[in-house]
């Protein structure tokens, strides 16, 4: 259930973005997003952009949190097993919102994913960065815990 719901949400976000791209017939070339775009930023491994407002990756260092602020990220969602007071302090000090949604990849439950979807719904137009410890399971880089499409 969780996998199919999340797959549908990600597919919808990607399709909406692609649809906007197709509707825009300006001179600016448009590229469709499939699984997102790999990005590099100091202090964030496995970093990528899923949609114009959704980023994913590994646990950011202090330098990574500063890089997120520079990108205009408004909300940082931590999917690790427990909240980090150090991360929360660093994020809020830079004026971003920190949200902890503990989840565990080997045994995913609906509740954390429903909470994550609610964060997206409640923050339209805001840039959101979601992370787990390594950025290769709960936040999905195309080959792990979450569905492939």
Domain span including residue 27 = 2-131
pLDDT at 87: 93
Q: Is residue 83 part of a domain?
A: yes
Specify the DSSP element, H or E, that contains 114.
Answer: helix 110-122
Q: Is residue 144 part of a domain?
A: no
Q: Is residue 80 part of a domain?
A: yes
Q: Is residue 102 part of a domain?
A: yes
**Confidence band, pLDDT 50/70/90 cuts, at residue 36:** confident
What beta strand segments (E) does the chain contain? 37-38, 48-51, 54-57, 73-78, 97-100, 127-131
Residues in the chain: 149
pLDDT digits (tens, 9 = 90+) for 45-76: 999 999 999 999 999 999 999 999 999 999 99
pLDDT at 9: 45
pLDDT at 81: 72
Number of compact structural domains in the chain: 1
Q: Is residue 138 part of a domain?
A: no
Contacts of 39 (CB under 8 A, 6+ apart): 47, 48, 49, 55
Q: Is residue 149 part of a domain?
A: no
Backbone angles phi, psi at 60, to 5 degrees: -80, 145
Domain with residue 21: its CATH number is 3.90.190.10
pTM of the model: 0.71
**Confidence band, pLDDT 50/70/90 cuts, at residue 121:** very high
């Amino acid at each position: 259930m969780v996998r199919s719901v999340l797959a549908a949400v990600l597919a919808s976000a990607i399709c909406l973005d692609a649809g906007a791209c197709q509707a825009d017939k300006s001179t600016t070339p448009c590229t469709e997003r499939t699984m997102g775009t790999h990005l590099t930023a100091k202090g964030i491994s496995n970093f990528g952009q899923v949609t114009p407002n959704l980023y994913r990756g590994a646990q950011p260092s202090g330098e990574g949190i500063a890089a997120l602020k520079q990108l205009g990220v408004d909300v940082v969602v931590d999917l690790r097993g427990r909240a980090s007071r150090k991360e929360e302090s660093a994020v809020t000090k830079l004026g971003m919102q920190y949200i902890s949604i503990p989840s565990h990849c080997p045994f995913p439950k609906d509740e954390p994913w429903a909470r994550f979807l609610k964060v997206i719904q409640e923050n339209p137009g805001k840039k959101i960065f979601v992370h787990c410890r390594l950025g290769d399971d709960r936040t999905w880089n195309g080959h792990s815990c979450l569905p492939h499409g």
